[in-house]
């Protein structure tokens, strides 16, 4: 499984087959040949289940039915079959921490059904009338909302329309197993579990000293028990189901536990610390230059720690919740191809499973929307209000939002130079980025070199054990602009040097690699032999292979 690369599809923005402005499953089917050529072997699709779409499908109202916005069950079955014919699996996005408040269970609970009230986390106000705990929702504001006209409150760690489920209730767990098994029966061979390290809430919920609350519900030991049980009752019954857990604010120690095969929990995890290096004092809605040394330190810490504990990382820069990496850590204006390839190589040659987010393979950037009306994401809208209340001026807020909004990555896929970048013949649900005339698949296939580079990296992982299975060791950790590492496997060594800035950097090659013959495996600059020093040009990345 370690030789595979995953491609993430945001169905709403991938390809619209019926002209209603929203991407759909038939749109994905149309692009199977494109994905096959890229060489990816697993397609992760963000949720397309029945949902009021308050959080773009992460508010699920029916777990085993497809929202008509995206198509039908027949379309889905066809997608699974076509993908399989081309040696690709389908990975579904399971949102099992919470349901939409429009889910039948929540509606029954509201109507007074005790059984379903026990599905959710309901608590009374404190004696002084204040909310059950002081926890803050991840989308802003308190994490408790009034439960109908009762004197209780329900917990929502995300939007007020996303009610947290009570995994301590065995009936809830049975429901979850049924859902996952339903999709396994449909031929699904992968699952991405949304914010799955938040499912283990304590029996007695307590105020948080920091007034935020994360530590009270994140990575609780019981979350591991629940995941083990989920594994045993569902996907763990089969060989080769790929699973990845989205882990909010997790630790290396927990990452190891979740993904070490001995524990029978998950195949791998997403962690996000490396994508918080442009948060000022840990606060997302701020605007500062990213801290490269911190980025290096975190990547290294996770690579080394997960290796040691035999855990497994998902490797990624982009997803539907992150601004585009090329806009964030690269230079899409002056060094477009170099920075796109640098980012690709940095993670594709690490230990773990690389994920490509749609459009990354052609270097898609943030869209630079003009005003707040262009944004639709609920988190972004809440942030706008909160920043306003803090006293920031409109333009100051917009500068932050243009860099940090999740809509940055959710813009329609840029297929061609035609109307709406070839994504839809209708009115797109979210504006297309205005650079689609330059950056699009057609143009890339005709004249570009970024996608080819991705293809080579994907192919190399399949061919070379040193990439898919090799050990990891970070080197030159003090270097201010280069992230360097060594991968080793049965006598082979791969030296990877990744230079994250525009000004050239000269590196003295470490003693262990001096005066040894090596092969230039792949790089985004000029192919050359490795001497006793090497000068890396703007955003240059190189990998040299040594046979012992
Ligand atoms: C995850 C998803 C994100 C969603 C949240 C709540 O972080 O990736 O898009 O808003 O969970 O389900």
Does the fold of domain 104-164 match that of domain 6-98+170-457? no
* Contact in structure between 389 and 39 (CB atoms under 8 Å): no
Among candidate residues 75, 194, 265, 278, the one labeled active-site is 194
In ligand 1, the atom with minimum distance to the C-alpha of 59 is: 12
Helix (H, G, I), strand (E, B) or coil at 548: coil
Active site residue 209: no
C-alpha distances out from residue 330 to 276, 290, 365, Å:
16, 11, 10
3-state helix, strand, coil in the chain (%, to 5): 35, 20, 45
- 194 tagged catalytic: yes
> Which atom of ligand 1 is nearest the CA belonging to 319?
8
Question: How are beta strands 353-357 and 6-9 bridged, if at all?
Answer: parallel
**In angstroms, what is the C-alpha Rg of the chain?**
23
Atom of ligand 1 at shortest distance to CA of 378?
Answer: 10
Q: How far apart are CA 13 and CA 66, in angstroms?
A: 17
- Using CA atoms, how far apart are residues 254 and 260, in angstroms rounded to an integer? 10
The structure's pTM equals: 0.97
Q: At what angle do helices 221-233 and 252-259 cross, to 10 degrees?
A: 20
Architecture of domain 471-547: Sandwich (2.60)
Distance CA 548, CA 546 (A): 6
CB atoms within 10 A of CB 65: 12
Class of domain 6-98+170-457: alpha beta
**Gap between the Cα atoms of 293 and 284, Å rounded:** 18
What spacing in Å lies between the alpha carbon of 469 and ligand 1's midpoint? Answer: 30
Complete DSSP assignment for 63-83: EEEE-TTT--HHHHHHHHHHH
Ligand 1 centre to CA of 138 (Å) is 10
For a pocket test of ligand 1, which of 46, 98, 158, 165 has the largest count of ligand atoms closer than 8 A to its C-beta? 158
Find the residues whose C-beta lies inside 6 A of ligand 1: 55, 58, 95, 158, 194-195, 246, 320-321
Give me the residues of the chain with pLDDT under 50, please.
none
Closest alpha carbon to 465 in 425, 495, 427, 493: 493
Report whether CATH 3.20.20.110 matches the domain 104-164. no
The CA 220 to ligand 1 mean position distance, Å, reads 19
CA 322, 34, 315, 75 torsion-angle sign: positive
Probe residue for ligand 1, chosen from 11, 155, 163, 194 as the CB with the greatest number of ligand atoms within 8 Å: 194
Which residues lie below 8 Å from residue 243, measured CB to CB, with a gap of 6+?
A: 190, 191, 192, 193, 231, 235, 266, 267, 268
Q: Got the DSSP string for 384-400?
A: HHHHHHTT--HHHHHHH
In the prediction, which pLDDT does 414 show? 98
**Residue from 52, 321, 406 whose mutation best tests the ligand 1 pocket (most atoms within 8 A of CB):** 321
Q: What's the CA-to-centroid distance between 76 and ligand 1, angstroms? A: 22
Tell how far the Cα of 59 is from the centroid of ligand 1, in angstroms.
Answer: 9
pLDDT at site 119: 98
Q: How do the domains of the chain map onto residue ranges? A: 6-98+170-457, 104-164, 471-547
């Amino acid at each position: 499984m370690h030789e595979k690369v995953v491609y993430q599809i945001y169905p709403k923005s991938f390809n619209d087959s019926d002209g209603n402005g929203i991407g759909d499953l038939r749109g994905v089917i149309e692009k199977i040949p494109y994905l096959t050529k890229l060489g990816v072997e697993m397609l992760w699709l963000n949720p397309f289940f029945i949902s009021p779409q308050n959080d773009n499908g992460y508010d699920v109202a029916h777990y085993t039915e497809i929202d008509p916005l995206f198509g039908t069950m027949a379309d889905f079955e066809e997608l699974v079959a076509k993908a399989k014919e081309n040696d690709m699996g389908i990975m579904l996005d399971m949102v099992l921490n919470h349901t939409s408040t429009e889910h039948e269970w929540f509606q029954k609970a509201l109507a007074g059904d005790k059984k379903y009230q026990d599905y959710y986390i309901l608590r009374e106000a404190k004696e002084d009338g204040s909310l059950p705990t002081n926890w803050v929702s991840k989308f802003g504001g308190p994490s408790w909302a009034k439960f109908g006209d009762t004197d209780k409150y329900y917990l929502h760690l995300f939007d007020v329309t996303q009610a947290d489920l009570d995994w301590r209730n065995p009936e809830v767990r049975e429901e979850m197993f049924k859902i996952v098994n339903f999709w396994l029966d449909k031929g699904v061979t992968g699952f991405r579990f949304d914010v799955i390290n938040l499912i283990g809430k304590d029996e007695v919920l307590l105020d948080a000293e920091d007034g935020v609350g994360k530590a009270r519900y994140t990575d609780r030991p019981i979350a591991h028990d629940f995941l083990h049980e989920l594994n045993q009752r569902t996907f763990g019954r089969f060989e080769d189901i790929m699973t990845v857990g989205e882990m909010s604010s997790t630790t290396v120690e927990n990452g190891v536990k979740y993904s070490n095969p001995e524990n029978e929990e998950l195949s791998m995890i997403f962690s996000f610390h490396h994508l918080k290096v442009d948060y000022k004092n840990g606060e997302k809605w701020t605007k500062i230059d990213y801290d490269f040394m911190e980025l290096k330190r975190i990547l290294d810490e996770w690579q080394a720690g997960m290796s040691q504990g035999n855990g497994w990382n998902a490797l990624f820069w982009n997803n539907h919740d992150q601004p585009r990496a090329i806009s964030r850590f690269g230079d899409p204006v002056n060094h477009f191809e170099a920075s796109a390839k640098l980012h690709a190589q940095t993670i594709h040659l690490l230990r773990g499973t690389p994920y490509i987010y749609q459009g990354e393979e052609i270097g898609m950037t943030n869209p630079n929307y003009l005003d707040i009306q262009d944004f639709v994401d609920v988190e972004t809208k809440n942030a706008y209000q909160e920043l306003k209340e803090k006293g920031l001026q409109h333009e100051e807020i917009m500068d932050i939002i243009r860099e940090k909004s999740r809509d940055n990555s959710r813009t329609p896929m840029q297929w061609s130079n035609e109307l709406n970048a070839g994504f839809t013949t209708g009115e797109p649900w979210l504006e297309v980025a205005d650079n689609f005339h330059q950056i699009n698949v057609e143009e890339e296939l005709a004249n570009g070199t970024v996608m080819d580079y991705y293809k080579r990296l994907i192919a190399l992982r399949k061919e070379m054990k040193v990439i898919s299975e090799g050990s990891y060791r970070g080197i030159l950790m003090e270097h201010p602009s280069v992230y360097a590492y060594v991968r080793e496997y049965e006598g082979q060594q791969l030296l990877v040097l990744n230079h994250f800035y525009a000004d050239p950097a000269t590196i003295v090659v470490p003693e262990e690699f001096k005066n040894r013959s090596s092969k230039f495996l792949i790089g985004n600059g000029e192919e050359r032999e490795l001497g006793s020093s090497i000068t890396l040009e703007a955003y240059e990345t190189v990998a040299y292979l040594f046979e012992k």
